[in-house]
Homo-oligomer: A and B are copies of this chain.
């Protein structure tokens, strides 16, 4: 791979993706994102875009970052000593949206590129998109998963089932024996056929976000809700916090490698609530949705 040219292309694509998503969200919600450009003292930086306190979106972060250096941070090595003292590049665009209405799901999307060596001799893509509803609408879950599946099927029918399973395995709260949400797709170490093929694949993943999420957001954003519904949303968000701070590799890698804390933790919900040993009332909407959460087949 021609390192500098390839990274320039990827960077341009990731920033365009960030901008096109911000633009669409701004148009639709009639709001303006705050943009913070930042630099990493040891190399690289990013553009953090945040929106808070809206009527439709309670908090959203749409971030781009590109960090690089002469040595991979120790925390990223995971005992793979063969990667020690190698120059690295890590680029990515990440989105998390915490909607205001409890019937609209949280969305998370990430596409990333990682390379090692002076000329990026070793490289891979990673990414994914997944949905975390407080209340599950089966039809929305099907719609979301089918949108992912249709997009990946253009590259072969093996991808969706494989990356759906990786997503279910990854977004799992072991300490609660509970999935974070209804999943989607997740993959890492993606390096197939050629650089062009792999890059096209990641572009396709980046294109899932708008068609997979915005129709759900539009459909559910004006749903009437009670105080109970809102409190249940805040309660469910506590699980999102637990997952991201205890398990999420991206979050922990970012914090350990002296990333920009406020950009990394844009994923935190605006408000979350913990209640001791809470369980839903029999036959309530909340009980039904928690039972559905364990059903991991949505196509």
Contacts and interface: CB of A to CB of B under 8 A. Distances in A.
A199 to B, nearest CB: 31
Given A265-B274, A266-B276, A175 B255 contact: yes
Interface stretch (A157-165, A186-194, A237-245): A237-245
B277 A36 contact: yes
A87 interface: no
How many subunits of this chain does the assembly comprise?
A: 2
A227 interface: no
A176 B261 contact: yes
B36 A261 contact: no
A19 to B, nearest CB: 19
A250 to B, nearest CB: 14
Nearest to A264: B175
A182 interface: no
B261 A269 contact: no
A77 interface: no
Interface string A146-179: 0000000000000000000000000000111000
A50 interface: yes
A214 interface: no
Interface of A: 34, 36, 50, 52, 59, 61, 174-176, 234, 238, 241-242, 245-246, 252, 255, 261-262, 264-266, 268-277
Given A242-B245, A262-B276, 4 more contacts: A36-B277, A175-B261, A270-B275, A271-B274
15 contacts: A50-B277, A52-B275, A175-B261, A175-B264, A176-B261, A234-B271, A238-B268, A241-B241, A241-B272, A246-B246, A246-B255, A262-B276, A265-B274, A270-B273, A271-B272
